[in-house]
Amino acid sequence: MFLVANWKMNMTRDRIGEYLSVLDQNGLSGILEGSTLEVALAPTHVYLDFVAEEVRRRHLPVKVFAQDVSTRTEGAFTGEVGVRNIQDAGATGSILGHSERRRYFGETDAGVTIKTGLCLNAGAIPVVCFGESLEERNAGATLSVLRQQLTCVADEVAGARKNGNDTPVFLAYEPVWAIGSGINASPDDIRNVLSAVSEGFPWPELPRFLYGGSVNLDNIGLLSGLKELSGFLVGGAWLDPDVFLDSVKALR
C-alpha cells in the first residue's frame, strides 16, 4: 500500500522538524520494516528540499512528493516549478490535478494530461486526482465527469507505455464532496467508481488506485479492506504525525 500525506499549504520548517521527530522517535522505520507499505509526505514546493534532506539525515523510509508541477519543462515561466525542479529537490513524484487546484487555480483536464506526460517522461511518479462534485453526483453525472477527467490521461499513459516507459502511475479517487468534509465515500461508492474507471477507459494496464476524502483513524480500517485500493491520499488527518503513525500501524 502507498500512503501519501498531502500537507497542502500547511506546515513550516519548525513544524516539519517536529513531525519528522515524531516519526523518528516512534519507530516508523521499524513499523515499516518487512511490510509492503510505502509512505510519502507532500509538502509545498519550498520545503521539498528540506524534507528530503531531513528524511535522509534521519534515515527515515519516507518518499517526498510535490503537490503540483508546471505544464512547462523549463525556461522563462516566472513562478513555475517544473518536474526537473522537484526531482532536483528530492521528490520522487507529484500529486496532479487535485480538486483544489481545479477549483481555485484553473487546473484543466488538458493541463493534468500534459503534467502526467511530463512526469512519466522524467521518471517522476504521477498521482493523478479525479473525482466528482456533489452537484455532479446528485445529477447522476459522476461517470461522464470522470470520463472527461481521465480519458486523455489514460491515452497519455498508453502512449508512454508504447514508448517503453514504465514509470508507475497512481490514480487517486477523491470525490470533491468528501474532501475535508468529514464525510468519506462508502466502500460501495468507491468500488462502483473504481470498477467503472478500470473497465470503461483506455488504460494500458490495470490502474493502481488510491482513495482520498476524509480518511481518518475511524474509517481507514474499513476502507483498507477494499481490494481495489492500493493506498490512500490524506489531507487533514495526516497533518498530525501521531495520527499518521497510528494509521500506518493500523494498516501494517
Give the other-Cβ count within 10 Å of 177's Cβ.
Answer: 20
- Kindly state whether residue 179 participates in binding ligand PEP, applying the rule CB under 6 A: yes
What is the C-alpha to C-alpha distance for residues 137 and 127, in angstroms, rounded to an integer?
A: 23
What is the C-alpha to C-alpha distance for residues 157 and 126, in angstroms, rounded to an integer?
A: 10
CB of 243 within 8 A of CB of 216?
A: yes
Sign of the C-alpha dihedral computed for residues 77, 80, 84 and 89 taken in this order: positive
Q: Is residue 45 annotated as part of the catalytic site, yes or no? A: no
- Kindly state whether residue 236 participates in binding ligand PEP, applying the rule CB under 6 A: yes
Q: Tell me if residue 173 falls in helix, strand or coil.
A: strand
Return the C-alpha cell found at 91: 521528490
- Kindly state whether residue 107 participates in binding ligand PEP, applying the rule CB under 6 A: no
Q: Which residues contact 7 (CB under 8 A, 6 or more apart)?
A: 41, 42, 43, 44, 67, 235, 238, 239
Shortest reach from residue 15's CB to ligand PEP, in Å: 17
> CA separation (Å) from 31 to 24, 126, 247?
11, 26, 11
* Contact residue for ligand PEP among 126, 212, 231, 241 (CB under 6 A): 212
**Catalytic member of 54, 98, 100, 132:** 98
Nearest position to ligand PEP, beta carbon: 235
From 79-87, 111-119, 173-181, 192-200, span contacting ligand PEP (CB under 6 A): 173-181
Q: Is residue 174 annotated as part of the catalytic site, yes or no? A: yes
Shortest reach from residue 157's CB to ligand PEP, in Å: 21
- Kindly state whether residue 204 participates in binding ligand PEP, applying the rule CB under 6 A: no
Q: Which residues contact 200 (CB under 8 A, 6 or more apart)?
A: 143, 147
Shortest reach from residue 21's CB to ligand PEP, in Å: 23
- Kindly state whether residue 125 participates in binding ligand PEP, applying the rule CB under 6 A: no
Shortest reach from residue 112's CB to ligand PEP, in Å: 15
Q: Binders of ligand PEP: how many residues, by CB under 6 A?
A: 13
- Kindly state whether residue 234 participates in binding ligand PEP, applying the rule CB under 6 A: yes
Looking at the DSSP bridge assignments, the partners of residue 171 are 128, 209
Shortest reach from residue 35's CB to ligand PEP, in Å: 22
What is the C-alpha to C-alpha distance for residues 105 and 99, in angstroms, rounded to an integer?
A: 10
Q: Which is nearer to ligand PEP, 6 or 87 (CB)?
A: 6
Which residues contribute to the site for ligand PEP (CB under 6 A)? 6, 174, 179-180, 212-215, 233-237
Q: Which residues are catalytic?
A: 98, 174
